[in-house]
Amino acid sequence: MLLFAASVPTARHHRDQRIHHRIDVNLSDRAITRSDHTVLIKDIDTVFRGEKIRGRLVQPEGPAAPLPPGVQRYPRPGEMVVSPALHKLLSAPGNGLLRERLAHPIAGEIGEAGLLDPGEPAFYLVANRMATDAGQTRRLDHFGKAYAKKPLPPELVLLCIAGIVVLLLPVGAFIAAAVRFGGERRDRRLAALRLVGANRGTTATIAAGEVALSTLAGIALGAILFITGRQFAGTVQIEGLGVFTEDLTPQPLLAALVVVAVLTLSLGITQLSMHKVAVEPLGVVRKSGSSSRRLWWRIVLPLLGLILLRISVRSPADLHGTSGVVLVVIGMLSLLVGVTAVLPWAVERLTRLFGGFGPVSWQLALRGLQLNGDSATRSVNGIAVAVAGAVALQTLLTGLSQNPVDSTARGARGPSASTRVAIARLDDGGTRRAKYAPVLATTPGVRRAIEFKEVSVSPLNGGFPQVVLIADCAHLRLLAQLPSCSDGDAFLTAPPSTDTMPDMTTWAAGMKLRMDMYGPRWTVPDITASVRATPAYPAAVSSERTLLATPRAAGQTAIAHAVSTVGLTYATGFKDVQDHIRTAAARLDPAFSVDFPGKSQGDPALDGVRRALLAGVTAVLGLIAASMLLGALEQVRERARVLSVLVAFGTPRRTLATSVLLQSVLPVGLGLLVAESIGTALGSTLLDLAGRPVTHNWSTLVAIAGIGAAASIGVALLTLPALWRSTRPQGLRHE
């Protein structure tokens, strides 16, 4: 796990390189003219059942046209090259809609150099007559662009810090618990050495040597497993995130730091665990007392963490400074380590309050926790810390993903509660006169299709973009409630009365505006009246006023620069209705883009960090569950003789199994309660540092706790076979 973490900088560097190498936008001020060394390109991304597919429409303009990364040669017009993931998706049964949408011969596959990860679906489709005057068509003479590193936004810096702490701290807890496995047998071996003349210093040195050798052996085994698992990295996807084999290359300095840190932690934990043990020639004496654990100093640790977090960042800009980052890390560590400090006290209070009564299995479980409470809490500490960190991360992610004003859901509604609105756009450069609405209206699930032209205009000084919709009176009446209409009229829609967002548009007759970004000037026509939009009006998602113009009022120049648009009203209850719409639009023209305003697009950077963190949390929880299983098996083996004696005296095995289950579940239940409380407090504090309102997704938090509980119950059930073997009469033999 730590070697995977040491490979993260390399994986990120390789991923950034692939992103930069395949950039297909001319970001320079230099105009590119047609030549044998140029290529036309246009985005034709699509979505299939929630999965984004990267698509590009390309047309080489000469034999020396630049090739996209990962593409060996351009196929013939009408053919496409696809990524291995998309090839697999197209071949999968039940994906007929996608095969119908991308019904082009496959002439090759995209190599690793042109993909972000092995699971990315992508394709390049070769065209032969692309409109060069279309707004989204670009001419390139090379692919790729080198960017200077930009600092992450403070919210993402905070999220990354939280993710690193949350992912690595449970690994430290796992190592601390693993070092203590077999501690009782080690102490008996050391007692035998004392009997033949070894002093305490010698036994301490031998114990340190044993731990160092076993730790080095574990590191070597981990390295072997890492090298072996690295070969299958391209076949694994966690939370939609994957890496190539060469991405998993640990940085030498970090790999050396991993070895030193694991050795230091193992030796330190061993020395601390021997402080309460007196290894004498005739046996092992464990120091214990009847005094109860005190709570006050255990509460101080998380309180100190909260105080440090509150004073560490006074403004989001402080997160870019070293001192702010260090204080945030120390505060998070104090809070999460506080889980391991509070949990032993909670287990002790449970055994004192509820011990001495109840069924035999209950009393056996509580007595086992009284005698071996430290070992029980050690095995639970890892999953408690992991759950607390996961809760904090989920709270932070929920708050960061919330928009201050979310009007998309309102704007997405159609004329009834069971319908929504979609918008299909095609930037054809004004060269086509085809009618798209009648074809799209026959798509399964579509109730209505309204066709119009759409053009973006803005003030000459580069102000806020504004939208003009162009259509005849018959179609304008479907978009707005018009008092009367004739060719030459123009109407201004009023923003929704429930919208609280300010209107940034300026409309005045005779006002000079510029079409697109660098297009010609356009004069606002006389406005006939202000009207209210109908529910079928696609631009109702916007809080700004929109101008509806007839062809005569808009003028031929505006029509030539407009984008062909179809507003669709569809039934939400129809299966795969959005994929049906996308497929129908792609059959008309691969360059058709379809938007569903009701679906939040989200922040790509935040989405990438979220997927990486959730993948890491999933891996850590799996690691902690494995450590819990090893700890439980170790406890059963150390108690085998006691269990055999109980069975010999007539204790039913079912009672013993129930006691073992309770002995595993009770500490986990307390740990999850403490973890949920501290994790929620940590997540709320981090949101406050980021200047975001505190929002909790309670269903997800309950699900995280459920995953932790399921892991503990699964571990307890997996120990039952070892329990049956330990209760055989042969377990009574002892030397």
CB 531 within 8 A of CB 491: yes
CA 313 to chain centre: 25
- Bridge-based pairing of strands 122-126 and 277-280 is unpaired
Reply yes or no on whether the pLDDT at 7 is more than 80. yes
Beta strands in 559-610 (DSSP E): 563-571, 593-595
Q: Give the Cα separation of 585 and 575 in Å (integer).
A: 17
Q: Tens of pLDDT along 638-688?
A: 777 777 888 888 888 888 888 878 887 888 888 888 888 888 888 888 888
As a whole number of angstroms, the distance between CA 108 and CA 74 comes to 9
CA–CA distance, 118 with 112 (Å, rounded to integer):
7
Query: Over the stretch 469-509, which tens digit does the pLDDT of each residue have?
Result: 999 999 999 888 899 999 999 999 876 555 556 677 889 99
Percent of the chain surpassing pLDDT 70: 82
pLDDT in tens, 542-589: 557 889 999 999 999 898 888 999 989 899 888 899 999 999 999 999
Q: How far is CA 435 from the centre of its chain?
A: 41
In the chain, the N- to C-terminal Cα span, in Å, equals: 40
Instruction: Write out pLDDT tens, residues 318-334.
Output: 666 667 777 888 888 88
Query: Residue 144: helix, strand or coil by DSSP?
Result: coil
pLDDT band at 510 (very low <50, low <70, confident <90, very high): very high
Average pLDDT over residues 173-197: 72
CB neighbours (10 Å) of residue 716? Answer: 21
> Quick check: 471 and 513 in contact, CB under 8 A?
no
For residue 341, give the H/E element and its range. helix 322-354
Q: What is the pLDDT of residue 406?
A: 43
